[in-house]
Amino acid sequence: MPPASAPLRKIVHVDMDAFYASVEQRDRPELKGRPVVVAWSPEPRSVVCAASYEARAFGVRSAMPATRAARLCPGAVWLRPDFARYKEVSRQVRQIFLRHTELVEPLSLDEAYLDVTVERTGLPSATETARVIRAEIRAETGLTASAGVAPNKLLAKIASDWKKPDGLFVIRPHQVEAFLAPLPVGKLPGVGRATERLLAELGIATAGELRRADPRLLERRLGRFGPRLVELAAGIDERPVLPDRPTRSISAERTFDEDLPAPALGPEIERLARRAWEGAERRRRIARTVTLKLRTADFRTLTRRRTLPHPPRDAAEVAGLAAALLAASGLPAEARFRLAGVGLSGFADEAGDDLQGRLF
Amino acid sequence: MEIRLKRSEFLTELAPMQGIVERRTTIPVLSHLLLSVRGDRLHLAATDLDVSLTSWVSGEVGREGAIAVQAKKFLEIVRAASAEEVLLTQEEERGLAISFGTARFRIHGLPASDFPTLPNVEARAEVSLPLGRFRRFVSKVLFAVSSEESRFQLSGALVHLKEGAVEMVATDGHRLALIEGAVAEAKGDDSVLVPRKALQELLRFEGEEQLVFRRGEHHLSFVAGRRELVCRILEGTFPDYERVIAKQNDKKVLVDRRGLGEMVQRIALITGDRARGVRLSFAPGEITVSAANPDLGEASESLACEYEGEAIRIGLNPDYLGQFLAAVETEKVLFELKDENSQCLGSPLGGEDGRYLCVIMPMRI
């Protein structure tokens, strides 16, 4: 049983620069340096699918009504989107990602998260991996991409936007707090204009201020998003990179209404174990590894896991194992918890893959 | 647009569109069908940008026009219609009324101009093949096509048209299926990688008519009757498959196909998990299938077979073996083996296919 909490992850977010417009400019050299707007047509109900950086200089943005774009940039070249071609290039880029890791989560044709904690080609760091990927994209597709490197998806995405276009920005674990403190709240995912205004009324303009805010007050004003927002402002984001393929782990977790002491966790763990178990049953997966995740009142997150020689038989056995992991967690008796989770992984059919011989 | 259609005829052409439409897509229009009324017909089109399908039905036309509608809901509504006839009326650029009996649905759509332009396959030559035979070939290799995204060039089957013959090969790296048979209409010498989804949809083409196959620069077209399926050609190099088909497996076993298939399925029950292997032990005159599951117990069963060599054991994925046995139609199947670390080469004994085989790599148990 590994005593440490979950290992540090290395996440890269890659975002192609003005993707559709760049593909068009690449394939039609006469468009280079000219403002290009990709949209169905410059008619009232149509919206902008993509704008080249030349068009952005005029204030044109994607998802803007086409009529407005036409007003802002009268000299723009209008092109109908050719998604088949974009998808082809997107696939080419995906193949580049897959050389480095199989943990690729595409968000759309032009952006993806990569978990490069374990890198396939043996590159020494995530920063180097991101650099190589950007170089490969440029060499093989003639397009530029921006990348963000960070310990989680949230920060990687903010980072990729930081030096856009054609940039690379790295947030190292020890820089997270200093980076986030002055960050305007509007840069956090899910914070739109309405939330931004609401936070401003509370005197909160930056992630640093948000982090120090009273979570109860935020919850009253923002509902369930309030506490989550405080986590985001603290740079906490444990969402895994989910590739488009069979699930690697099935888990259930819960943030409590108020912080709970260890003895009160028992029934919660039982419920979570049952939920995780049912999730695995539904997907007909048989797991051998049980993981307990805990977050303390002071935002420390730790995970404890145990892999069994044989898969557990039922939810009760999973709950029993999770409770044993809690007892052995080494946390002080007075610790209080804001979140608990139970996960199942190490699925039997995955282990089988190594045993299966290959032809090619 | 406005057109009155016979519901059952309409459904026959509408239902297959569902297989093409993407369930999860970042491009909303791809979850839509294009409906366009021209002449006395309603033309239907669906695409996921890689594979597209078009067809038509004739009806009583009021006026021409076109609109894209959400495929899943539209199909559900037409399927649920309680009358023999369905009337489609476009009310504006983005609204479509579906009327039958006293029911009237009005659904939002997207302008037809938002629907992607489907590729036009400009081919120099076309080959016409019997649809039934083509389907049969596909069904013999489709199970071996890879579903792993990282092995892009294996996510389809190689279709090789020869002079008077067609060959199809598929592999996922663990096993390989190959069929080659005489098809009088086939000509030339040309091979192409056809993506899995296109093959799956072609299997649903019904009837015994001709399938007209054309190859363009980047796309393939398959026409049968009123349906046309167009797909992007998979780019990439298919592995040198002849090299991995063993020629010198000296241990030959003849066994009843159905008996073995059922036995493998039964014994696999104890594994409790699809990827855990079963062990095949061959002894003179007898084959034994066994499996063990540390949680549950173990199982074994034997069957008479024709085998005279020394005893040999091999571990196999029961699904791989089962899918091959299910695709074979002959009474007996021949397995050629070398040792427990080498591939198992299976083929039907006799049968109507010129050459049909399946290579399965062993599993360590």
Task: Give me the residue spans of the domains in chain A.
Answer: 1-180, 184-233, 249-359
Q: Is residue B218 a contact partner of residue B233, using CB atoms and an 8 Å limit? A: yes
Give which of B319, B267, B292, B278 is closest to A310, Cα–Cα. Answer: B292
Report CB contact under 8 Å: B49, A360.
no
Amino acid symbol at A39:
A
Query: Would the CB atoms of A355 and B359 count as touching at under 8 Å?
Result: no
Asked if B44 and B151 sit in the same domain, the reply is no
Closest chain B residue by Cα to residue A106: B26
> What does the pLDDT look like over A87-119, one tens digit per residue?
889 989 999 999 898 889 988 889 999 999 988
What are the Cα distances from residue B211, in Å, to A167, B161, B193? 51, 14, 17
DSSP percent split of chain A into helix, strand, coil, nearest 5: 40, 25, 35
CATH class for the domain made up of A249-359: alpha beta
Mean pLDDT of B9-22: 93
| Residues of A involved in catalysis | 111
Question: So what's the pLDDT on residue A287?
Answer: 83
Optimal mutation site among B149, B345, B358, B364, interface A, most CBs of chain A within 10 A: B149
Q: Taking the domain A184-233, which CATH number applies?
A: 1.10.150.20
Arithmetic mean of pLDDT, A338-353 = 74
If asked whether residues B23 and B87 sit together in one domain, one would say yes
How much is the pLDDT for B248?
Answer: 86
Q: Nearest CB to B273: which of A91, A348, A356?
A: A348
Q: Which residues of A177-267 form beta strands (DSSP E)?
A: 249-261
Residues B289 and B344: their CA atoms lie apart, in Å, by 15
What pLDDT, in 10s, does the model give residues A251-284? 888 888 888 998 899 999 999 999 899 888 776 6
Residue B315 lies in a domain: yes
Closest by alpha carbon to B315, among B285, B271, B358? B271
A223: left (phi over 0), alpha (psi -120 to 50) or beta: left
* Domain match, B255 and B344 both: yes
Do the interacting molecules here have an ipTM over 0.90?
no
The domain of B296 spans 245-360
What pLDDT is attached to residue A4?
Answer: 40
- The stretches of A223-330 forming alpha helices (DSSP H) are 225-233, 265-282, 315-327
Determine which of A258-267, B3-12, B72-81 has the lowest per-residue pLDDT on average: A258-267
Q: What is the mean pLDDT of chain A?
A: 87
A108 contact residues in B (CB cutoff 8 A)? 26
With CB atoms and an 8 Å threshold, state whether B150 touches A102. Answer: yes
Please report, for residues A260, A305, B90, B135, B335, the alpha-carbon distance to residue B301 in angstroms, rounded to integers and kept in the order given: 55, 39, 64, 35, 18
Kindly determine whether residue B361 and residue A348, on different chains, have CB atoms separated by under 8 Å: no
Please name the residue that has the structure tokens 């029934």.
A267
Length of chain B: 365
> For A87, which residue in chain B has the nearest alpha carbon?
B49
Residue B86 domain-assigned? yes
Q: How much is the average pLDDT of A40-64?
A: 84
How far is residue B335 from each of residues A292, B353, B360, measured CA to CA in Å? Answer: 48, 17, 10
Smallest CA–CA distance, residue A40 to chain B, in Å, is 6
Q: Over the stretch A175-229, which tens digit does the pLDDT of each residue have? A: 999 999 999 999 898 888 888 998 999 899 999 999 998 888 888 888 878 888 8
Give the nearest partner residue to A358 out of B295, B315, B361, using CB atoms. B361
Q: What mean pLDDT do residues B203-232 have?
A: 92
pLDDT above 90 as % of chain B: 75
Cis preceding linkage at B195, omega within 30: no
DSSP class of A69: H
What would the pLDDT profile of A4-37 be if each residue is shown by its tens digit? 445 689 999 999 999 999 999 999 999 999 999 9
Q: How many residues does chain A have?
A: 360
CA distance B118 to chain A (A): 9
What is the pTM (predicted TM-score) of this model?
0.66
Using an 8 Å CB-CB cutoff, list chain B residues near A107.
26
Q: State the Cα–Cα distance between residues A15 and A10, nearest whole angstrom.
A: 17
Which range has the worst mean pLDDT, A84-88, A329-333, B66-70, B310-314?
Answer: A329-333
Domain A1-180 carries which CATH code?
3.30.70.270
Same domain, B196 and B302: no
- A71 sits in which H/E element: helix A66-72
Residue of B49, B295, B315 lying closest to A83 (CB–CB): B49
Distance (Å, rounded) from C-alpha A137 to C-alpha A144?
7
Report pLDDT for A292: 94
User: Which residues are bridge partners to B100 per DSSP?
Assistant: B103
pLDDT band at B149 (very low <50, low <70, confident <90, very high): low
Q: How many domains does chain B have?
A: 3
Same domain, B251 and B356: yes
Q: What is the mean pLDDT of residues A166-172?
A: 95
